[in-house]
Amino acid sequence: MLKLLLLCTLAVASRAEIAEEEDVLVLKKSNFDEALAAHPNLLVEFYAPWCGHCKALAPEYAKAAGMLKAEGSAVRLGKVDATEETELAQDYGVRGYPTIKFYKGGEKESPKEYSAGRQAEDIVSWLKKRTGPAVTTLSAVTEAESLIADSEVAVIGFFKDLNSDGAKAYEKAAEAIDDIPFAITSDDAIYSKFEVSKDSVVLFKKFDEGRNTFDGELTKEKLLAFVKGNQLPLVIEFTEQTAPKIFGGDIKSHILMFLPKAASDFQAKMDQFKKAAEGFKGQILFIFIDSDVDDNQRILEFFGLKKEECPAIRLITLEDEMTKYKPESDAITAESITAFCTLFTEGKLKPHLMSQDIPEDWDKTPVKVLVGKNFEEVVFDSSKNVFVEFYAPWCGHCKQLTPIWEKLGEKYKDSADVIVAKMDSTANEIEAVKVHSFPTLKFFPAGDERKVIDYNGERTLEGFTKFLESGGKEGGAPAADDEDDLDLLQCEDLEADCCHLFF
């Protein structure tokens, strides 16, 4: 008995060593296993102290931890400084910040990636769906009112028979959505309170029309389409908090309005934008971007815009490839935006490809300067082997590569058949190559086949030289299909907030 008491005392003492900051457990490799044992359902943020996105998340993360703690929930939130606990971060494949993983049931081998928004309510809702039943049963009006009051979006299924086929389809749909609370009721008083006269599904929200009622056959697929089509505002502002919802959703066609919030006609233009959005619900996501916000300047740059050129409208599709479209008219009216979106949905728009003008001295330096207007002519010259760096001026790794790339250009400046070149991919686009990260290095060998070979070797003068001398074999690989994911346009520097355009 004495031995058992001693072991229990040691266990309690060990748990007490896990410090907390604003209700968030401070985790290290030395206490990680103990934390999982003490708190089987644990959400962990791997962060870097210098990361701007981590700093923005911190107050919401702490608020979520406090909300759960106040409810007496067994679910806890923890954080790991990945710059200090490098081994622990490496164990769980942390490659960017913040990375958030959920460890359920004390199991640490395959944690679930957090996939919802970055506001406290999003975090709490996601965790409740992950740890509790997918659908909560409501038996009183006050319960329904509290659910709606506490949630930005909530869905209630009204079913007199909770075992009906419709109710079962509803539960299956609820299991497939992590970030929205679902409830079900057969209570007459709740039916009456919300003026529901027959079995149906109602989505309640704190924006736009306030509620949407499902109308159609009760199947999982149709219910999912209904929820996903109505869970976001007609117009959603692009922020760090809303980005996961924007880019993690099923709607991959986005129209963006760049407009300063401080503009005198802001509300008038927003009203026109929102009016146009009504006709494309579920087809195109309407997004507003405050062009005065410093953090949004890289997005303007990505679309070839400057602050002084706003307001402006652009459309982008993130499906098979990332393709941009520009309206012919600069007018921001419901009519002009509707016409632009209609042409897009009918497949009648041509992509908008940015290009700088060809510099007069583009071929006067060892590293040739390519832009959209001279790219095809240079890289697909059948008599030349062309090695191109696609870069971003702000990318830390691109800056590190510059002196090596210039030495490579110097080495081959007198070559009859080798060209070393570079292109600023933030200002120039071509159909032949889709650039998703910086720097991207591609080789275009001589010949008529228009072949493209990715360079995957060492970024050294020796590595580049071997690659060129081997005809693109040493350190090269055939260009793979570019993946359309949420890491679009990242440079690889984890120590620079500017690496992330879409986070």
Active site residues: 51, 54, 395, 398
Contacts of 298 by beta carbon, 8 Å cutoff, 6+ apart: 394, 498, 501
Cβ within 8 Å of residue 184, ≥6 positions away: 135, 136, 137, 138, 156, 157, 158, 159, 162, 167, 170, 171
As a whole number of angstroms, the distance between CA 497 and CA 490 comes to 10
Distance CA 269, CA 331 (A): 10
Q: What angle do CA 360, 362, 366 make, to 5 degrees?
A: 140
Strand partners of residue 184:
137, 157
Cβ-Cβ contacts under 8 Å for 205 (sequence gap 6 or more)? 152, 153, 154, 211, 212, 230, 231
Q: How many residues does the chain have?
A: 503
Alpha-carbon distance of 486 to 464, in angstroms, equals: 30
Single-letter residue type at 286: F
What is the rounded end-to-end Cα distance, in angstroms, of the chain? 54
Q: 118: closest CA among 189, 52, 205, 27?
A: 52
Q: Which residues contact 398 (CB under 8 A, 6 or more apart)?
A: 389, 391, 392, 438, 439, 491
